[in-house]
Amino acid sequence: MAKKQETALQHYPSNRRFIPKGKLLAIGGKESKDNEGQPEGKDQNINFISEQILKRFVEELKGDNPMVAVIPTASQVPEELAQDYVTVFKNLGITNVQVMDIRNRKDVQDPAHIETVNKAAGIMFTGGDQLRLTAIFGGTPLLLAMKERYAFTDIIIAGTSAGAAAMSTPMIYEGESQGGYIKGDVRVTTGLEFLKDVAIDTHFLTRGRIVRITQAIATNPECIGIGLEEDTAILVTEGGKVEVVGSGLITVIDGMDMTETNIFDIQNGEPFTAKGLRVHMLGDKDEYFIPTYARVQLK
């Protein structure tokens, strides 16, 4: 099955826009889990709905008695975090929950994990450190199996915090200076590439990350930056149609019409500038179409 689908991906005509059949749910972190992990300010926010995002994840699952695979690899406390999701999903009526206990490159090679991915109606990447996800899953048959499921089936793949940041390419994994305004202090690498030419950042407004994602976009204005606030998510369908879900806001940074930047002239350690950026602030049920997914992809 894997070889056949890999061939289909490799030989899909380059002059046609490929539309994945699966869905992505990228969550900004601290999504409501009933009485646990509630976002700050929920009592003042009349838009807050308990467990709204995870309920939407469950609603999107297909099939009778759907299986959800939980991947806590990004976390330093994977057992504890995985159990949190097992409990919350069971409370939401999903009893078929499988934990994929993957902690290193050796674990990821277990063929049983590919079988789990091929049976799952949904996959959930927990929070933690997104660099653990890319370093452990990158280039493996298991990641290919996930991409094939996303491309050819109606699976939903979700990630929260680090799990959301890792979905995109480029992937921001570190920012040293306060706010990220110093050139060279924002670290970027290749993510898991479910969304290409999109950079996702999380805990966005709470941690003041608008400048650091802007630096990432200034270095490559063809990419779109999407900042996800806590208890706020984007549901991506058809490879680029975005619906906002949750109690907060998402921020979109579009640099395609950027008029000026000094990012290529200054030295590391100097503040960068960028002019002419477009910024969108979107809330629950708002829609946005990522302008990158319809581009011609050269092989």
| Strand 156-160, strand 122-125: pairing | parallel
Q: What is the pLDDT of residues 236-248, one digit of tens each?
A: 999 999 999 999 9
The residues, ordered by sequence, that sit 6+ positions from 40 with a Cβ below 8 Å of its Cβ are 206, 230
- Catalytic residue numbers, as ranges: 161, 203, 230
Burial class (CB in 10 A: 0-12, 13-18, 19+), 264: exposed
The confidence band for 113, taking pLDDT boundaries of 50, 70 and 90, is very high
Q: Mean per-residue pLDDT for 268-280?
A: 96
Structure confidence at residue 39 (pLDDT):
63
The confidence band for 18, taking pLDDT boundaries of 50, 70 and 90, is confident
Answer with the residue of higher pLDDT: 296 or 151. 151
The residues, ordered by sequence, that sit 6+ positions from 290 with a Cβ below 8 Å of its Cβ are 195, 198, 224, 236, 240, 241, 242
Going by C-alpha positions, the residue among 155, 132, 127 that lies closest to residue 230 is 127
Instruction: Indicate whether 294 pLDDT > 90.
Output: no
8 Å CB contact between 255 and 202: no
pTM score > 0.95 for this model?
no
Q: What is the pLDDT of residues 37-80, one digit of tens each?
A: 556 666 667 778 999 999 999 999 999 999 999 999 999 999 99
Q: Report the distance separating Cα 153 and Cα 255, nearest Å.
A: 32
Structural domains for the chain = 21-34+48-289 (3.40.50.880)
Instruction: Indicate whether 289 pLDDT > 60.
Output: yes
The confidence band for 88, taking pLDDT boundaries of 50, 70 and 90, is very high
Q: Mean per-residue pLDDT for 130-149?
A: 98
CA distances 30 to 9, 55, 159, 216, 285, Å, are 35, 14, 12, 24, 19
